[in-house]
Amino acid sequence: MQTYIEIKNKKVPALGFGTFRMQGDDCLKGTVEALSIGYRHIDTAQAYANEEEVGRAIKNSGVNRDEIFLVTKVTPRNFSKNNFLTSVEESLKKLQTESIDLLLLHWPSDDETNKAAIAQLAMAQQKNYTKLVGVSNFTLSQMEAARKEADIFCNQVEYHPYLTQNKIRSYLEQHNMLLTAYRPLADGKILNDSELISLSEKYSRTPAQIILRWFIQQNGVSVIPKASDANHRKENFHVFDFELSRVDMDKIFGLNKNERLVNPSWSPKWDD
């Protein structure tokens, strides 16, 4: 059974379904199936070019919209005052909903542009286009600046056992904010790690299940693995009926290498 995180009196499903790089029918069918399995946290973005498929999937799933924690992200090219709210309205139309649960800025820009985008984010919340607002890929200083302008609920960042985001995690926990982890399986790189294989054998679970369980047992952390394969979608969801010991949790934290997989040319200067 799904577990929930409570942040600022809001409940968020700890395990979500990421749709990055899922397109067309694959996204439509995959999201419908994810909802049928029990996923109730769905993550998309304007830049993924699949909001329409996600919206159709939710409609076709038979799951009540109120049961789903739906997240999308505004791409930086829409940060301007002229484009921001119009782009969000277009996202809502594609997603076939009057309001989403969490709206994020997908990547930071320069300080002045970020400030303007945060103001627009707050405006989207005032218009009830979204219940909650947040950011993605923001550094500590960028988050601090954002918090002065709006009630920032979340920072969605790359986070996996080889990149444990200690500073970001500490900051978010201190300020009672959600951390959503993307690329949690490090694109499969960590699945052959000897430590994880050992834990896999100990708990009679797959390495992926061990890692996702590690995330779920952390305070204030949600995780959104992408699974284009039907078996992996089911496997990833079956992580609620066992528990890792504190010692084994620490073993996984000990795998940290500060190794980033996501570092495009527009990335900020990271606070590793």
Side chain identity at 60, as an amino acid letter? Answer: N
Asked whether residue 27 is assigned to any structural domain, the reply reads yes
Res 49: pLDDT: 97
Residue identified by tokens 């789903």 is 68
Contact 50, 44 (CB under 8 A): yes
Question: Can you tell me the distance from the alpha carbon of 25 to that of 48, in angstroms, rounded to the nearest whole number?
Answer: 14
- pTM of the predicted protein model: 0.97
Structural domain that includes position 20: 4-253
182 is catalytic: no
CA–CA gap between residue 26 and residue 167 (Å, rounded): 36
Average pLDDT over residues 24-42: 97
Gyration radius from the chain CA atoms: 18
The answer to whether residue 269 sits within a structural domain is no
C-alpha to C-alpha distance for 103 and 125, rounded to whole angstroms = 9
Average pLDDT score, the chain: 96
Asked whether the beta carbons of 213 and 199 are under 8 A apart, the reply is no
Asked whether residue 230 is assigned to any structural domain, the reply reads yes
| pLDDT score at 112 | 96
Strand partners, 17: 42
pLDDT, tens digit (0-9, with 9 covering 90-100), for 108-163: 999 999 999 999 999 999 999 999 999 999 999 999 999 999 999 999 999 999 99
Catalytic pick from 48, 129, 171, 182? 48
3-state secondary structure the chain: CCCEEEECCEEEECECEECCCCCHHHHHHHHHHHHHHCCCEEECCHHHCCHHHHHHHHHHHCCCHHHCEEEEEECHHHCCCCCHHHHHHHHHHHHCCCCEEEEEECCCCCHHHHHHHHHHHHHHHHCCCEEEEEEECCCHHHHHHHHCCCCEEEEEEECECCECCHHHHHHHHHCCCEEEEECCCHHHHHHHCHHHHHHHHHHCCCHHHHHHHHHHCCCCEEECCECCCHHHHHHHHCCCCCCCCHHHHHHHHCCCCCCCCCCCCCCCCCCC
Residue 270 lies in a domain: no
Here the tokens at position 96 are 């076939």
pLDDT classification of 67: cutoffs 50, 70, 90: very high
Would you say residue 81 lies in a domain?
yes
Nearest-angstrom CA–CA distance, 31 and 228: 9
**What CA–CA distance (Å, rounded) separates 131 from 86?**
17
> Is residue 102 in some structural domain?
yes
CA-CA-CA-CA dihedral for 99, 47, 180, 61, to nearest 10:
50
Asked if residue 262 belongs to a domain, the reply is: no
pLDDT band (50, 70, 90) for residue 271: confident
Using pLDDT thresholds of 50, 70 and 90, give the confidence band for residue 272: low
User: 264 lies in a domain?
Assistant: no
Domain count, the chain: 1
- Residues 84-118 as b/e (b if ≥16 CB within 10 A, e otherwise) read bbebbeebbebbebebbbbbbbbbbbeeeebebbb
Give the CATH number for residue 116. 3.20.20.100
